[in-house]
Amino acid sequence: MEEMVAMFLHILAHDVKNRIVQREFVQSSETNCLGALDGTYIKVNFSATGHPRYRTRKGEIATNVFDVCDTNGNFVFVLSGWEGFTADSRVSRDVISRPNGLKVPKGYYYLCDVGYPNAEGFLAPYKGERYHLSEWRGGGNAPTAPREFFNMKHSSAWNVIERTLGLLKGRWAILRGQSYYPVQIQCRTIMACCLLHNFINREMTNSELIEDLDEVDSSFATTRGNEINYIESSNEWTQWRNKLAQ
């Protein structure tokens, strides 16, 4: 990760082309970025006794779903079942510690926001600097320092997960409102919607995709790509947590 930052700073300082940096740092033209990740809340149906655990900061009863997509907007890992109040960093620790959890090849990384740890396999932006794309729009809002420029480029690339999640919820109404089904079934429903999302991306033509996007939000977009690699429900998360506590 340090080498990637050094390459980035070298480009800023010397205004050189990508192939020159590749030669000087002995790197191939293949990007080390596999995609992006983020958490999202999806409303669930739960008994009254379960509400405190699943209540988000906005007062909704929801599960915190951990989502990872590739650079083409296809889901490669999804984990649902964690309570809505659970912090994203806690969910990410669960994801990487599971035997069949998210595995990031050495030297590669997924983009994440500041709510996740800036560790091996995860590349977060600089804290305390402008980050969201809306902050760069308009005259006079261009980056004025290397860290701001890094955050702007990071945000632009990381935005693929926001667009993907927006398109997912735009396609499937069952993910936008509180489900009539128990939380265990709803978690499986989330997985099914992600699988169908990938299938549609693979089979749709570009024109069909544009029409679909117009029905959601102009800020959301995705492109075609490979089908899902791994997906797992977290119905047994309680058992896993109890084992850790022993």
Q: Is 0.85 topped by the overall pTM?
A: no
Amino acid at 8: F
The residue among 18 and 174 whose pLDDT is bigger is: 174
**Inter-helix orientation angle 2-14/146-171, to 10°:** 120
Per-residue model confidence (pLDDT) at position 133: 74
Beta bridge partners of 75: 69
Domain range summary for the chain, segments of one domain joined by +: 1-30, 31-240
| Residue 144 phi, psi dihedral angles, 5° rounding | -115, 0
What confidence category does residue 63 fall into, taking pLDDT thresholds of 50, 70 and 90?
Answer: confident
**Tokens representing residue 21 in the block:** 């940096």
Average pLDDT, the chain: 76
Angle (CA) 97-225-214 rounded to 5° is: 110
Task: Name the residue among 65, 15, 73 with its Cα closest to residue 42.
Answer: 65
Residue 48 has pLDDT above 70, yes or no: no
**Tokens representing residue 83 in the block:** 């309570």
Mean pLDDT of the 52-74 span: 85
* β-pair type (33-43, 62-70): antiparallel
Amino acid at 110: Y
